Chain A
Amino acid sequence: MMLTSKARLFATSWLMLVVLLITSGVPAAAQTSLDVERIQRATVLVMQTRIIGSSPIITCVGSGTIVSRDGLILTNAHHSLSGANCSGDTLIISLNIRPGEPPVARYQAEVVQANPGLDLALLRITRQVDGRLIDRASLALPFVEIGDSAGVGLDDTITVVGYPGIGNDPIVFERGTISGFAAEPSGGDRSWIKTSASITGTMSGGGAYNQNGLLIGIPTTAPLTPNPATGNCISVQDSNADGLINTNDVCIPTGGFINLLRPSAFVRPLLQAAQLDISISFPLERVISTTATIPTARPRFRYLGFSPSVNPAGMPTTIIRSLPTGSNSLYLFFDYENMTPETVYELRVNTNGIPNPNFSVSPVRWSGGSRGLWYVGSSGQPFPNGNYEFTLFIDGIAGDSARLVIGGGPDEGAAFSDIVFGLLDSAGNVTGTGFVLPTGNTASARFLYRNMTPGGSWAAIWYYEGQEVQRTDDGTVWAESDGASGTKTISIQSVNGLLPGSYRLELYIEGRLAAVSDFTLAGGQDGSFARIFNNTHFTTASTVQEALSAAPISSFSAGTSPIFAMFNWQLIGPGTLWRIEWSVDNQLFFSQTQPWSGAPTGSNFLMQIASPAGLPDGTYRLDLFVGQIQFDTAQFRVGIGQLPIDRFASAEGIALRGQVLNSVSRDGIQGVSVMLISEDYSVADFTRDWNQAQLIATATTDRNGRFEVNVPLQRGALYSIVLLAEGFLPITADGVEITDENHPDNSPIDITLELTPE
């Protein structure tokens, strides 16, 4: 179609009209920065299904949130990954097409990144619901941006969004406040955000938003084993084809009410890896000498104790019997055994016999290893006086409980605290990194004591991998020479050398546990420090065998994939927890802690980092940790050494949508092309070249003449628009601008345009 002079004249006359229409757009949610419509559209229902007979049967349901325009969905791992309670193999994604209506199944998705312990998963839309493949580049879905969960504080108002049922309910927005934070070793003091919002089980995996409309948390609860008798699941399909829907059919777990949000800070590494399409696999060579055992015995918690604070290694600073009035930090410590990532644990707290949701933790997946010392607690939150009872549940069954009185003055009794470990230097000082020591014949511990009574009994017991190996010989009676308060150093020794692995020191006063701490022995001695990993380097090759003999490379050409990473290790005991971290341009995208299962000493532990389209340009770094201590690091560059800029990464902006009408009949016109030209070009440029590279977005009107531009518009930018339809005079407009004056908030702009028949 030619733009005749008449058409140009006509178009010019439309310029002011378009601007006028934009300025008079009706905000959908006036005067709020929470873009309700975008959040609604980005919130999806995730249904896990499997084929039974010839029918798809729903096995698990949860909520999710679209976090990228090409179809990445953030949700929980427990209803995405196939497991004992959710045994499906296909994920169906339903969208909220119209507000107030139930979601409609549109797509299939696959898990691209998951962390079962954190109960987070990122899905990617890969197929239409009928199974046809989707080119991700063709998707332009509404999405929300991840906010900074570290920036939220007590009593901040949040909005939790998700689906309250298993498919027949529209999205709900539950407003509430942040009532506290829960601490765990997996994420420190902000492992969980607690909220007063009323959240049902199937909203798990949805989103919690701050007042700026940014996603700051993921409501999370793990459903227990479905049991129709307890009402924790619902059967909605005749899965056994017996003509009845009853307790013999697949029961979809619905979970209970949720008071926890997993902070969005934990999402960023997963999201970064998914957006870069990077996969990491290891170990590629036969470094495994012991097979990782999956616990088969019943999981259990024991030795519950309380501490007012936690040291940087995640150990209790001391063990207390009471907490004074005005305390605002408390941690419950306990030993755990036989835990798996699918184990569900829960903490219920009663204050003076009344359930206290503020300090309870709703059922969540276990995020630790199989055995060790764990804590759950909170800081920065006042604890009212009272008698507290803490009861731990495993898979819905009550386990050990412990009581603590909060109130009164500080405990003036004898106490041990602040244990640190190291090697003794020539002056008798404990030196080293505190909790990871090199292997040798001796390991020492230094601790503080106060209010000790000479002659009182005390004991120090050392454990190796859970077995007692030594008691302090002179530890039965407190020596007068030590005084009431001070610092004491004790040691564990072995003439044959201490084996690498996990150790524990327990300190008792009058038979009561007064302090406890774990530490690790690993690596060779390098002064008072451990040397565990070394010679970390990178190369590229077409096979694993070639990689082992290839020369180290530190700078790779653009698009290289795969790249192999190798390192040597020494004296690591089986089961020792170690951590791998990968980052690109200083942004973490992979972090995994796992028990060591290889030979104690070896070389060329081989990892592969790969991407189907080649690794994106950037500077990649590999860090190796034991505990909180970094023991080796190395980096390489790909291409220019800097990540490319994703111009579609931001969801911020103003949505443009509208309707195109026939100016004569007033009917909507189907199939009109709406083309939004980028700032760098004008209508004249575009209608000269007709090149799609000059466009920001295109849209086509539906049967009602409605269209939606799927790229958010930015304030202050000058856009040009072209509307084309055969049989109608075109509309073009240059210099369309959204300003604070003509559109003060971020609500969508809804315009009506009229095309005149030729």
Chain B
Amino acid sequence: MSTTIIEVGEAPVELTLRQKWSHYFVIIYAILAIIIGVNLRDSAVFATVPYSNPQVGITAFYPHRWMIDSSGDYVFRVRDMAQTGFKTAMQVNIIPVNSDMTTRNILETLILNRSQTDSTFRVLSQEPIQLADNTEATRMTSTFVASNEDPFLESIPTVVERMDVIAVQGGQAIIISFLSDALTFEQNYPKFEQFLNDVDF
């Protein structure tokens, strides 16, 4: 014996104009919400804090909620303390130069110093660049291996990628550095790009 199922449904009802507009508004609101959300996220992620040091003539904007430190042998350094593992950092150093020094001399000094302090230090590239304000500069990319300074902890070393932008101006060399876990370097780089665009010396 065979069974036949007959489905009985309501006849399709055409949406009213009001209903149609309601749907359209929902979609528009959703799109607007997404756009606002993205903007809010961007403004949160790329929010900055002003930094000014009249003594050395530097102004900059660094990422909001990064920890600032000016007690080291740099003008200042900011670090993303929320980053797990190696703390992404940006720092500004100033070293005196004389008229006989070239950018090449400064690079050599940096390389020599870092080879003394950074484990497995290696230079990846050096190239001339132009900053946003048309200042001529040199960019050096290098890597080294960083590990927790506490000898009593079991910390696995991290490969760190470092980018230095060196510009010579007014008898001094400004070295703006960006350090990040090599695995997240590209992801973090836009913040440094923004920092670099905003810095004024």
Contacts and interface: CB of A to CB of B under 8 A. Distances in A.
Contacts of A725: 82, 84
B148 interface: yes
Given A97-B152, A130-B119, A710-B150, A726 B83 contact: yes
B119 A703 contact: no
A757 to B, nearest CB: 12
Interface stretch (B12-20, B29-37, B65-73, B169-177): B65-73
Interface string B100-117: 000000000000000011
Nearest to B62: A690
From B153, B155, B156, residue with most partner A Cβ within 10 Å: B153
A673 B68 contact: no
B149 A140 contact: yes
A698 B119 CA distance: 22
A435 interface: no
14 contacts: A1-B65, A128-B119, A132-B119, A133-B117, A137-B72, A138-B149, A141-B151, A691-B68, A692-B67, A701-B153, A703-B156, A726-B82, A726-B84, A730-B82
B153 A702 contact: yes
A1 B87 CA distance: 13
A468 B74 CA distance: 69
A400 B51 CA distance: 77
A708 B118 contact: no
Given A41-B152, A708-B152, A727 B71 contact: no
A699 B150 contact: yes
Given A692-B67, A700-B148, A672 B117 contact: no
Interface in B22-56: 44, 49
Interface in B135-187: 148-156
A383 interface: no
Interface string A700-728: 11111011101000000000000011110
Nearest to B116: A133
Nearest to A674: B81
Interface residues of B, number: 30
Interface in A113-171: 128, 130, 132-135, 137-142
A675 B81 CA distance: 9
Contacts of A134: 117
A670 interface: yes
The 5 nearest A-B residue pairs measured at CB: A671-B84, A692-B69, A671-B85, A702-B153, A1-B82
A2 interface: yes
Contacts of A706: 153-154
A669 interface: yes
A427 interface: no
Nearest to A135: B117
Interface string A645-682: 00000000000000000000000011111010000000
A130 B155 CA distance: 17
Given A703-B156, A706-B153, 15 more contacts: A95-B151, A128-B119, A130-B119, A133-B116, A134-B117, A138-B149, A140-B149, A673-B81, A675-B81, A690-B49, A692-B67, A692-B71, A704-B154, A708-B152, A726-B82
Contacts of B87: 673, 700
Contacts of B68: 690-692
A600 B150 CA distance: 55
Contacts of A8: none
A84 interface: no
A708 B66 CA distance: 22
B81 A703 contact: no
A318 to B, nearest CB: 57
B111 to A, nearest CB: 14
